[in-house]
Amino acid sequence: MGQIKLGISLIMTTLFTFAIIMFAVNFGADNDASVLLSNDSDYITFTDNLSNDIQTFNENANASMDTLMSTTQETGDQSASSGGQFKVGITTLISMATTIITVGFVKIFGENEGFGVFLTAIIGILLWMIGLYAWKTWKGNPD
């Protein structure tokens, strides 16, 4: 799994999640359903967090693009070593992924702490993969 693939996957998953929940909520609202997904407080908190993350991601991406466009380079200058433009959104992406996994987990397995080991393992694997990709990007293939 490549770095671009992972990033695009997380973005697409976020948009898909947002679309599915909004579809369910709006279907209930439009048809005056007797069982409403918007009555579930977990989902309301979840959509709020997700939309905040998306907004932060959008602002960061725009700010980074502005910085990149306004950069000038003279003959003989050192190239930028920080790579800041290419690190945009990593924290919000991780936040989106953990939010999605958490709410899905809570809805399926409940609030029982005993099942928390699955969630810890999933998030741990995700962070480990992201760490490996970061290492691979800056230092070459870790294999």
Partner 1 sequence: MSLYAQPSLTGGIDETLVEVVTTVNTFIPGLLLFVWGVIFISGISTQKLRTGYSDTPMWAVMASISTLVISLLLSLTSGLINLETLSIVVAINVFAGLWLFLSKGRGEI
Binding stretches for partner 1 (CB under 8 A) = 1-2, 4-6, 8-10, 12-13, 16-17, 20-21, 24, 27-28, 31, 33-37, 39-40, 42-43, 100-101, 103-105, 107-108
> Which residue reads 């790579």 in tokens?
83
Q: What is the DSSP letter of 78?
A: P
The distance of closest approach from Cβ of residue 107 to partner 1 in the complex, given in angstroms and rounded to an integer, is: 4
> Which amino acid appears at position 86 of this protein?
F
Kindly give, in sequence order, each residue whose CB lies less than 8 Å from that of residue 109, ignoring residues fewer than 6 positions away. 115, 118
Pick between residue 19 and residue 63 the one whose CB is nearest to partner 1: 19
Q: Are 115 and 109 a contacting pair, CB within 8 Å? A: yes
Pick between residue 9 and residue 85 the one whose CB is nearest to partner 1: 9
Pick between residue 8 and residue 65 the one whose CB is nearest to partner 1: 8
**Distance of alpha carbon 96 from alpha carbon 12, whole angstroms:** 11
Pick between residue 46 and residue 88 the one whose CB is nearest to partner 1: 46
The distance of closest approach from Cβ of residue 84 to partner 1 in the complex, given in angstroms and rounded to an integer, is: 23
Distances (CA, A) of 82 to 25, 87, 130: 43, 9, 18
The distance of closest approach from Cβ of residue 12 to partner 1 in the complex, given in angstroms and rounded to an integer, is: 5
